[in-house]
């Protein structure tokens, strides 16, 4: 009898000389997920098409060293706080914290100069007869990238027999801090990264979104999607939205917006289908928000000269809390205190 399995191998060596390892999760339905301990990154996700031919449906680099240089967060686990924090500053319990920012960034993005995507995590194969599973752990010290509290994070990837890739997050802290973790894979259900994602049909269960300024910082308003290019309540192609000419896309040069969704692991909040391959992906999450990003700047990736990427060759559905939540009391809080446990989960289920 076939059972789900996890195989380990060396993924390559980092510039520090440290060895990175890859973990290949396989179910009995024909799916494989390859994750690496550097950045707790989803490197490949092999999914059959309607004719039974498997292909990788996420963007990734060929070599582990490119993940050190890459600037697009391909497949990475993003934190301590995903998305943006205005001016890289926030107050907590009466104290002001100034965070690290990348050069030329006016806000902090995805955890700062050296976010969770640029660290080697500790991997562990989990004994689970019902699915293939691996856990990654990371501890970052008090003051890391300007954040308070020593933070201990554990992320589990599970590939189930229902063709779900489930990503579960846990975190604890030694002092009051802020946490917002997400998975930053770029999907292309054609299995061919040279084909833009314009023909992917997308449905999002969300009536509202959070408008932002031209640096991606929300105003605090929840605006209706109705009548805009962001109205995906009825499925339409990503290209239809991108090529609509709607001014709502001008500042972001494409889709890069947080949708106000909510639900639990049993509720579908987004569905994407690709007509040529016959693949469909459904997303479920415990998070209240989901950032839709259409890969508007992939051509500017730091590794583009080695493995060229094109704008719109992948899209992200980043389930998370709202952007700039530490500075927006009207948004759900992302504060984590000692004695509490941060717990969230997102799943991506495939059909063909």
Task: Record the tokens describing residue 143, joined without a space.
Answer: 């003051």
List the catalytic residue out of 110, 119, 184, 200. Answer: 184
Query: What sections of 55-105 are H helices per DSSP?
Result: 64-69
Q: How many CA atoms lie within 13 A of 153 on its CB side?
A: 32
Q: What DSSP designation does 210 have?
A: -
89 is catalytic: no
- Residue identified by tokens 């000269």 is 305
Of 81, 236, 219, which is closest to residue 151 (Cα–Cα)? 81
Cβ-based burial of 141 (10 A; exposed 0-12, middle 13-18, buried ≥19): exposed
| Coil, helix or strand at residue 326 | helix
Beta bridge partners of 95: 92
Q: How many CB atoms lie within 10 A of CB 96?
A: 8
Query: What sections of the chain are H helices per DSSP?
Result: 64-69, 238-242
318 is catalytic: yes
List the catalytic residue out of 145, 164, 274, 318. Answer: 318
Q: Where in the sequence numbering do the catalytic residues fall?
A: 184, 318
């Amino acid at each position: 009898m076939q059972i789900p399995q996890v195989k380990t191998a060396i993924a390559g060596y980092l510039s520090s000389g440290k060895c990175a390892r890859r973990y290949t999760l396989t179910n009995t339905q024909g799916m494989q997920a390859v994750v690496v301990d550097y950045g707790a990154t989803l490197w490949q996700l092999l999914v059959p098409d309607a004719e039974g031919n498997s292909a990788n449906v996420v963007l990734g680099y060929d070599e582990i060293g490119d993940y050190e240089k890459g600037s697009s967060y391909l497949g990475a686990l993003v934190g301590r706080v995903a998305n943006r924090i205005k001016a890289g500053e926030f107050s907590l319990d009466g104290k002001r914290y100034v965070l690290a920012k990348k050069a030329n960034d006016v806000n902090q993005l995805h955890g700062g100069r050296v976010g969770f995507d640029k660290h080697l995590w500790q991997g562990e194969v989990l004994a689970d007869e019902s699915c293939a599973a691996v856990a990654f752990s990371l501890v970052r010290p008090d003051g890391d990238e300007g954040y308070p509290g020593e933070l201990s994070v554990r992320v589990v990837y599970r590939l189930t027999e229902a063709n779900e890739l489930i990503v579960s997050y846990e975190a604890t802290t030694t002092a009051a801090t802020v946490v917002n973790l997400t998975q930053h894979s770029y999907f292309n259900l054609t299995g061919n990264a040279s084909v833009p994602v314009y023909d992917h049909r997308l449905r999002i269960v969300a009536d509202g979104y959070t408008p932002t300024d031209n640096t991606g910082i929300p105003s605090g308003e929840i605006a209706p999607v109705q009548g805009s290019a962001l109205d995906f309540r009825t499925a339409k192609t990503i290209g239809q939205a991108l090529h609509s000419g709607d001014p709502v896309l001008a500042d972001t040069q494409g889709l890069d917006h947080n949708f106000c969704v909510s639900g639990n692991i049993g509720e579908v909040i987004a569905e994407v289908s690709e007509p040529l391959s016959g693949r469909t992906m459904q997303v479920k999450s415990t998070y209240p928000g989901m950032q839709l990003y259409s890969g508007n700047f992939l051509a500017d990736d730091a590794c583009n000269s080695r493995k060229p990427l094109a704008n719109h060759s992948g899209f992200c559905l980043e389930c998370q809390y709202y952007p700039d939540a530490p500075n927006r009391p009207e948004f759900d809080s992302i504060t984590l205190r000692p004695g509490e446990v941060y717990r969230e989960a997102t799943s991506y289920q495939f059909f063909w």
